[in-house]
Structure 1
Amino acid sequence: MGQEDRPPLFWKFRSSNGFIVFSVCFAIFVDVLLYGCIGEVFPFTLEKRSGVPEDQVQGWLAVLLAVYGLGFSLGSPAFGWLADHYRNRWYPLMAGLVLLLAGTMMLWFGTMVQFLCLARFIQGLATACIWSVGLALVIDTVGSSNAGESLGLLAASMSIGFVGAPSLSGFIYDRFGYDAVFLSMVVMVVFDIVLRILIIEKKDAVKWILQETDPNDPTRPLLPPNPADGPNFDIQIHAHPLITLMSSPRLVTAVFISFVEAIIMTSFETVLPLHTKETFGYTSTLAGLCFALVVFGDFFSTYAGRLSDRIGARPCVVTGLIASGTVVFLCGFATGPSIASQVMLWVLLLGVGLAHCLVFVPTYTEMSLVVEQIEREKPGVFGPYGAFAQSYGLGNFAYAAGTTVGPLWSGFMRHQTGWGPMMFALGVFSILSVIPSYMFLGEPKAKEQGDEEGQSTSRI
């Protein structure tokens, strides 16, 4: 065996499903943690470090959120396209982590508020890259048919970041100061980069698996490894994958549901603290715990993913949207200061989170299945490296758009009409989304029947 064919140390562990999925989960956890920590720290530092007048702090906070969303929106399809033209996910995912490190360092040492806006835009680009490429790497590793459970783990990692960010950043800032917050974030990003360096993608590990397994072993990979002399970057011109993907009603529906879920979740994030403060007299801590009930539902995302893998996305998403619309509508009745009203709201908020995980994970699983469906119908249409990252890029773009629309719409609605009518409108929005979900999600029935007939004919 030549020196170049000798496998690297611990290659089996480094190319295992568990290690790769854990690495992507950690990357998403760190990204979300950074997002949440910034929101907790900067309200206290913009005036001191950047010289922002007190009456302008809220406005600049909104700008910092907006430029982050802009970077997330613009970067999602762009990094998806880039990742699907590389043979390996190594380069684009590493680029995302380097961007995340650069943005964090800029926020740490920057003082001019305009410079901080640039740093937040770079962080948004990093988020787009990590999510689009990371999700595609998971699908490369576990396969679309088993993607639901793994995507559920990613959603749980995101929830841990959302729940942990306020308390962790607040504790570090109060006890150790501003520098300690960012030092801890930089350490986690560096560890994230180390994990990415250690990953060996499945397509690269196949050649060593083939060397060590018996040809008659049923676990032996059926596909040969990619040729070593193949191009590392696909420069051929193909029919534009984004146009091909968006011509599928199934994918358009999945992207739309991602947009809907972002609006629902960010609407609660925007108006729930103020509603609980004015109605129940809650402090910011209690209001944060209320939103934690919404996010807590995502810890059950792995079960939703398993269910989606078993029965398909359509029944999961339809059930989740109906349940979401119902509990969101009922939240509108929690308008009195009584204990019963508060308990009802807590239970309903937990229901919102559970319904969300029943929709979110199957929807993202569907995005990868659409790519496989199109590839079966038009082999080679996406080029040699597929279009998983671009599919997720579209989903992330829609989710980023929803995180922009949700706060603006919910804030305006609550100010103009109040809590109850706003919740009613949000519930109707969720229920109406059931129609396209039922019509278009899932493998087309006609196609399935056609495949079965073709297989029957070929056996005769």
Structure 2
Amino acid sequence: MRGVHSKSEAIGLSWRSSKWFILSTIAIALFAETFLYGFLVPMLPYMLRTRLHVSEGNIQELTSLMLAVHGMVSVVSGPIIGHFADKTPSRKLPLLLSLVACTVGTGMVAGSNSLSVLCIGRVMQGIAGSSVWIVGLATVADTVGGDNMGKVEGIMTSFLYSGLIGGPLISGLSLEYVGYWPTWSLPLLLLSIDFCARLVMIESRPVEVSSCRRELTGSQTCDATSPFLAPRENPQTRSNSGNFWHIIFTDSRALTALFVAVSTTTVGTSFHATLPIHVQETFGWGPGESGSLFACLIMPTLLVSPLAGWLRDRFGVRYPAMASAVFQAVILGLLGLAGTDCLPWTSAKTGGGALYTGCILALGLARPFTANVGPVELSAIVRGYQEKSPGIFGPEGGMSRVFSLDDVAASLGTVLGPIIAGFLKEYAGYIYMCWTWSKSSLRRNGCIFNSLQAFCTLPLLFL
């Protein structure tokens, strides 16, 4: 069912509301949001040093803090955005408003001449990014349904990581070769393309949501032939609609998915705060080389994410994620050795640089098998509850709220990653930081296998 529009109401309705165009629009939106986050990674040390005149001893601390602001804001705003997004029949308006906030925030960051302006700009970018993640993935779930969710989420992950890793690559090279302000023209162009796509898109809501909405508002009876629709005599359609948070937070499978989302994002974003500074100190590499290292994370991820999604659809998430977690633990241990004199072939003067680059490539290859566990599992859980008790999460369903949880989990990781990584690197050393992530990856592997352990060991993750 194509939403509520008729062909006479919109020009080009057939392609503007088509599945391919909706998914393409959300892919562009996810790419743009993560591109802007990653774009700032090589820029921040330069901005703090040359534009804001921060002392050299405070560069690492403020870099970690400014990157973490994005996640802090999303942790707070995510549930609020998800709550109201599930109460509105249109997902297009929140997407457009978020883009306006993102554009204003990006302008403030680019032109900032004080830490307060930079921080406010990051706050606006964080709110916009949270909205895109929640509303965008809810739109994807509404569009594709459950059977192909893993495969489509894998493709979306490719775009997401393209932005997250491509941003540092492009900004690092551009900053080095064309200068500060020409570099900022790239995100502005991307935001213009994103705005056009969101403006043209006409969302397509699934039959079960729109029909049940009419049922619960009393304006029209649901089609009884659909297994997702609730008959009038079903008492759960109204009485349980407010129990979403209680149901999800008492589901061990959902807790495991959230735990994996937190820990995976924590490790991934730790490199944004530490990699540029570490490779400069250890190997003498500048912004261009730092950006190239981030590219080493993106290429394997782009190639492997659709395959990882197909494997999830076919075999489930557990065993591919477990194997990936063990592999990442080994690679993170080796990453810590690269550039040290622990072994002859790890020294910065011999093979340390090649070892570091190879470990980054290997992490890019393994991450897709754990990075997308959260949204795939959580959306499947919500669908399962709605199939058993139609209308249980209200007339608009619970997809926006479930993706707000995943956004909070991922955002918490973006807070923990830069802060913990910056602290460990500064006071214990880069090698200890990498070995801490290696240990956490092994714990994540155990939690994938045992749902209860995920909840119990969450406070102990970084001990």
TM-score (norm 1): 0.80
Q: How far apart are 1:235 and its partner, in Å? A: 12
User: Which residue number corresponds to residue 19 of structure 1?
Assistant: 21
Change in CA separation of 1:383 and 1:301 when aligned onto 2, cut-off 3 Å: same
Change in CA separation of 1:373 and 1:296 when aligned onto 2, cut-off 3 Å: same
Q: Deviation digits for residues 96-115 of structure 1, max 9, x if unmatched?
A: 11211221233345544323
Is the CA contact 2:64–2:419 (under 8 Å) kept in the aligned structure 1? no
Moved more, 160-169 or 170-179: 170-179
Is the CA contact 2:176–2:287 (under 8 Å) kept in the aligned structure 1? no
What is the aligned counterpart of 1:254 among 244, 257, 264?
A: 257
Change in CA separation of 1:70 and 1:171 when aligned onto 2, cut-off 3 Å: same
Q: For residues 186 and 276 of structure 2, what CA distance do their matches in structure 1 show?
A: 28
User: Which residue number corresponds to residue 397 of structure 2?
Assistant: 386
Aligned-CA RMSD value: 3.3
Is the CA contact 1:267–1:407 (under 8 Å) kept in the aligned structure 2? yes
Moved more, 341-350 or 66-75: 341-350
Q: Deviation digits for residues 366-406 of structure 1, max 9, x if unmatched?
A: 11101112223333221011111211211121111112212
Is the CA contact 1:29–1:158 (under 8 Å) kept in the aligned structure 2? yes
Q: How far apart are 1:296 and its partner, in Å? A: 3.1
User: Which residue number corresponds to residue 211 of structure 1?
Assistant: none
Q: For residues 50 and 362 of structure 2, what CA distance do their matches in structure 1 show?
A: 41
Structure 1 residues 53-64: aligned runs within 5 Å:
60-64=62-66
Are 1:266 and 2:269 counterparts? yes
User: Which residue number corresponds to residue 325 of structure 1?
Assistant: 329
Q: How far apart are 1:190 and its partner, in Å? A: 2.8
Q: For residues 126 and 391 of structure 2, what CA distance do their matches in structure 1 show?
A: 32
Q: How far apart are 1:253 and its partner, in Å? A: 0.7
Q: How far apart are 1:45 and its partner, in Å? A: 4.4
Amino acid at match of 1:127: G
Q: For residues 268 and 197 of structure 1, what CA distance do their matches in structure 2 show?
A: 35
Is the CA contact 2:331–2:359 (under 8 Å) kept in the aligned structure 1? yes
Structure 1 residues 48-447: aligned runs within 5 Å:
60-170=62-172, 178-203=180-205, 238-299=241-302, 300-334=304-338, 335=340, 336-337=346-347, 339-440=350-451
Q: How far apart are 1:163 and its partner, in Å? A: 3.3
Change in CA separation of 1:249 and 1:121 when aligned onto 2, cut-off 3 Å: same
Q: Deviation digits for residues 57-84 of structure 1, max 9, x if unmatched?
A: 6655444323322222212222111211
Q: How far apart are 1:132 and its partner, in Å? A: 0.9
Q: How far apart are 1:52 and its partner, in Å? A: 5.8
Amino acid at match of 1:439: N
Change in CA separation of 1:345 and 1:106 when aligned onto 2, cut-off 3 Å: closer
Q: For residues 54 and 420 of structure 1, what CA distance do their matches in structure 2 show?
A: 22
Q: For residues 165 and 43 of structure 2, what CA distance do their matches in structure 1 show?
A: 15
Change in CA separation of 1:364 and 1:35 when aligned onto 2, cut-off 3 Å: same
Q: For residues 280 and 418 of structure 2, what CA distance do their matches in structure 1 show?
A: 18
Q: Deviation digits for residues 295-350 of structure 1, max 9, x if unmatched?
A: 33321211111111111111222222122222222333333325444433333322
Q: Deviation digits for residues 94-145 of structure 1, max 9, x if unmatched?
A: 2211211221233345544323311210110000000111111111111122
Change in CA separation of 1:84 and 1:202 when aligned onto 2, cut-off 3 Å: same
Q: How far apart are 1:430 and its partner, in Å? A: 1.0
Q: How far apart are 1:13 and its partner, in Å? A: 1.7
Q: For residues 106 and 345 of structure 1, what CA distance do their matches in structure 2 show?
A: 35
Moved more, 337-346 or 95-104: 337-346
Q: Which runs of 5+ in 1 are unaligned?
A: 207-221, 227-233, 442-460
Is the CA contact 2:34–2:164 (under 8 Å) kept in the aligned structure 1? yes
User: Which residue number corresponds to residue 460 of structure 2?
Assistant: none
Change in CA separation of 1:111 and 1:314 when aligned onto 2, cut-off 3 Å: same
Change in CA separation of 1:352 and 1:179 when aligned onto 2, cut-off 3 Å: closer
- Secondary structure at 1:332 match in 2: helix
Q: Which runs of 5+ in 2 are unaligned?
A: 209-224, 230-236, 341-345, 453-463
Q: How far apart are 1:240 and its partner, in Å? A: 3.9
Is the CA contact 1:297–1:356 (under 8 Å) kept in the aligned structure 2? no
Moved more, 69-78 or 116-125: 69-78
- Secondary structure at 1:114 match in 2: helix
Q: For residues 275 and 378 of structure 1, what CA distance do their matches in structure 2 show?
A: 52
Change in CA separation of 1:180 and 1:105 when aligned onto 2, cut-off 3 Å: same
Percentage identity across paired residues of the two chains: 28
Is the CA contact 2:68–2:414 (under 8 Å) kept in the aligned structure 1? no
Where has structure 1 moved over 6 Å in runs of 4 or more?
Answer: 234-237
Change in CA separation of 1:56 and 1:432 when aligned onto 2, cut-off 3 Å: closer
Is the CA contact 1:153–1:302 (under 8 Å) kept in the aligned structure 2? yes
Moved more, 61-70 or 155-164: 61-70
Is the CA contact 2:238–2:391 (under 8 Å) kept in the aligned structure 1? no
